[in-house]
Structure 1
Amino acid sequence: MGTKTSERGTKAGRRGPELTPGRIAVLVLAALALIFIFENRGPTEIRLLVPVVTLPLWVALLATALIGAVCGAYAGCVRRRRR
Structure 2
Amino acid sequence: MAQTSRDHKARTPFFSRPGVRRFLPFVLISAVALIFIFENRSDVEIRLLVPIVTMPLWGALLIAWGLGMLACVFTVRRRSSRHSRQPR
Establish whether TM, by shorter chain, passes 0.5: yes
Unmatched 5+ residue regions in structure 1?
Answer: 10-15
Alignment of 1:1-83 (within 5 A): 7=9, 8=11, 18-20=19-21, 22-83=22-83
TM (normalized to structure 2)?
0.71
* 1:82 Cα deviation from its structure 2 partner: 1.0
TM (normalized to structure 1)?
0.75
Unmatched 5+ residue regions in structure 2?
Answer: 1-6, 84-88
1:9-31 per-position Cα deviation (integer Å, ceiling 9, x unaligned):
9xxxxxx88531x4322211111
CA RMSD of aligned residues (A): 2.3
Rate the CA distance shift 1:17–1:81 in 2: closer, same or farther, 3 A. Answer: closer
Q: Distance in 1 between matches of 2:74 and 2:44?
A: 30
Q: Which has the larger radius of gyration?
A: 2
Aligned residues: 72
* 1:50 Cα deviation from its structure 2 partner: 0.4
Rate the CA distance shift 1:61–1:72 in 2: closer, same or farther, 3 A. Answer: same
Name the SS of the counterpart of 2:24 in structure 1: helix
- Point out 4+ residue stretches in structure 1 off by more than 3 angstroms: none
State percent identity of aligned pairs. Answer: 42
